[in-house]
Structure 1
């Protein structure tokens, strides 16, 4: 049965197309879904695949012909047998033979590496780091690439053992959910991969040595000719097309990069005298990460949309330091974690939030939302920037559980393992600039929350106690709050409550 090989439907704005490359010739045996011919439009290259197993009959339109949508360009004889090869066929390169007989290609199944499904509020993501390169063997569940969103870093792991054959999206590329970013050959070994790598340059050298390279489409030839690029120079152009084919876009990108380099060289020559005068003063320009851009946007939004005010107080840390000194060893033996300051501050803040509900609330349009739960965001400094994971239901946690929760969030933040769920929500934020030596600051509210507590460096200072001067370990506390919802009386009362609970920790135990 003869099956027509037709030009596929063209995009609405495209009138016609060009036969770019026939991958088979008359008499070749083909398999179902095997790519037969590439059809080039102004913007994309379309592949026409075999509808069934069979033999290529007559090819009606050759490479370079202009064709229309649904036009018949060849015939496929379904279920036929390949004719005996002529002397001319025998002289064809081994590549054609490999294409006509897929079994001889000895390749495993190709697996697409895709961007995972992104959270509902995230439109796109950025390729952060590739941990493997083309040709490297990978194991099932091995991390291939880190993909950065506005809040978290997602890991994409290998679905199976094999070899990474191709990276479609390099580091820094913006990608969407479910987008194919690489290809993995299932079950392949590094030996077959290296063999393929050795064959590729040889084929490329053969085709590159001919000025009339048959793999070049008419539009590519025109682009090379118009820009005065020789066949030898064309070898240096990076190829993004399938099977290493040179595309028109590749030539345009190469020309732009070449012009930019020449422009930079010209500017550098013009500024030689100035550079000598400046000596070795240099600068480096790098793009912002997605997280840094998000932080900048949110902090600016917070400053511009809230009536932010900061109130200060100081707390004597000696009582808590005495408790830590007395029970640290016992506490660590029982719970497997050290007793820190953050658990005391979290407990004190949670109790203060119960007494001042407006500090635990948020503004939604013209409404005030009061929360009857106590989820506290912990500001964590990571190599990528400041993040605020959430410790949930702090009113139900013991000091040990709080310490363990904070440590787990800090480790995940450092390693970029925080999930969207762990970053979402939170009614109040605690930030500790004291670990970096900050003596006092005015923290910015973490929207949509209405307040944030800033901890600072513990410093010995002379204080008047019962008419006498004593040297005590003191810490400044800063509460930034949204004056649209929280009045001065409530903000000061909240901060005084935190101070009193910390200076007399037994109040936390006795609920006083």
Structure 2
């Protein structure tokens, strides 16, 4: 609404607009009657009395005829409870009129005390992709020095005994398989299953280790081109001399090269593994097992 008693008209059909005008005139006439009766003039009550008004009239010994003599301040000249209380002297006589005016005033939206809202503070700058990348957890590369002297000595003994030269990549691959067994669990946040086991007291029964899937990157010498395996001569034995057969030379069994371990022949090399966040302890245990097998127990890698 633009103001009190004014309506914002829209483009309506002719019949609807005329009906709207009649409704507006009826509402304005009813409002004038209501305003004229708020001054508290006695009038005959044509509407049924409110239950609260009937109760007060009965308690104070007043009749229906006496109700017509009481100044009424309600809508359309109806008698209110406050009018009866003011008539018998329980409250001020102008109390009902004041309350009616107050309610009528509060019934309209007061826009006189509108204040301009303070200006908003500038929004914080959004994080750039570089800052978001820096906030992400970073992976850690864990390295360990491991000597291959014992592996090279074992390799030479196998070659002298069986006539087969096992590449160092085979030793490293088998050592990695052994080192991946029974690794400690990663330091991750407990999931729903862990919390459930903890509530039931089964957290001590749940296994504390699992199999890993790591493989080290070995650095020492630059990778070399793998050479073709040369046939190894076989010594003639007594059985060959009796049956008159010649000793045939046999070739070493061709094994697939291992990525990252070709050309590793230095006595001391660096084994490194990239650990994801929370797996640092797990990777360290893996490298320690690799060091133990390659330096102290290389014979386990032959069988």
TM-score, normalising length: structure 2: 0.30
Higher helix share: 2
Q: TM-score, normalised by structure 1?
A: 0.19
The structure carrying a bigger strand percent of its residues is: 1
Structure of higher RCO (CA pairs closer than 8 Å, 6+ residues apart): 2
Q: Which has the larger radius of gyration?
A: 2
